[in-house]
Amino acid sequence: MQWTPPYDPAKHGLLPLLARQGRTANWFNTDDGDPYGEPNVARWSSHRTAKTIPFIYRRAVAERPEISNWLNTLTAEARKQQAQRGAPVASVGRGPSLLLLGPTGVGKTYEAHAAIRELAITGVVARWTVTTAADLYAKLRVRHGVDSEAEFQKYATSTILLIDDLGAAKISEFTEDINFRLINHRYENALPTLFTSNVLPKELTARLGDRVASRLNEMCQPVVITGPDRRRAVAA
């Protein structure tokens, strides 16, 4: 990771995230020349993250406390592992997963990108892979010149993965197979995954199959988001 010069966290909507993590702008801009120090990792990670967060979520700050709690669990474990191994930086490894559930427009994707932003400013390294379920299936369709299995492995083994809109795409044998293989791999290896889904909690089994639902049940903390469709509120 590179030394990243100090920059104004306010310009990138990072102050509320720093506050949630008990950090200040001064901490973020600690100019001690240590590339492995947490403030530099936070600047480097936030800079990289800003390039990948979709425009409408670029200032997202999670409202649900379960998001910060989940991130705190992951970062505490990362720091524990770092201390045990004497590693130069703390990196997210194994840990629990989170399942954000709720109807259209309540803010599931917003909360998910807020989580990515918040983890970036902690100074713990987290290599996210981000996809919607529909994009994932599209990328994994067998096509000439594409090694779909290698592509699948990128998602299955990613350190930390966001799967947005699980259960929203049309079901087929192909999507069922991908869901099972992907979720089973992440379940067996305790790889932290953030899922969002429109599916009602009581319909998860019917929609995703009992073997997938059972694994999600064990590996994820469910967070049910309720409320109006925020898109309609904006339009009104």
Ligand X SMILES: Nc1ncnc2c1ncn2[C@@H]1O[C@H](COP(=O)(O)OP(=O)(O)OP(=O)(O)O)[C@@H](O)[C@H]1O
What is the binding site for ligand X (CB under 6 A)?
Answer: 56-57, 63, 102, 104-110, 165, 198, 230-231
Helix pair angle (173-188, 133-140), 10° resolution: 110
Say which residue the tokens 């299995």 belong to.
Answer: 149
Measured from each CB, the residue nearest to Mg ion is 109
Which residue from 63, 116, 61 is spatially nearest to 92, judged by alpha carbons?
116
CB of 165 to Mg ion, least distance (A): 6
CB of 120 to ligand X, least distance (A): 18
CB of 134 to ligand X, least distance (A): 11
Nearer of residues 1 and 61 to ligand X, judged by Cβ: 61
The option from Mg ion, ligand X, none interacting with 104 (CB < 5 to 8 A, set by class) reads: ligand X
Nearer of residues 4 and 198 to ligand X, judged by Cβ: 198
Nearer of residues 25 and 168 to Mg ion, judged by Cβ: 168
The option from Mg ion, ligand X, none interacting with 230 (CB < 5 to 8 A, set by class) reads: ligand X
CB of 53 to ligand X, least distance (A): 11
The option from ligand X, Mg ion, none interacting with 101 (CB < 5 to 8 A, set by class) reads: none
Nearer of residues 9 and 107 to ligand X, judged by Cβ: 107
The option from Mg ion, ligand X, none interacting with 68 (CB < 5 to 8 A, set by class) reads: none
Residues that bind Mg ion (CB under 5 A): 109
The option from Mg ion, ligand X, none interacting with 38 (CB < 5 to 8 A, set by class) reads: none
CB of 50 to ligand X, least distance (A): 16
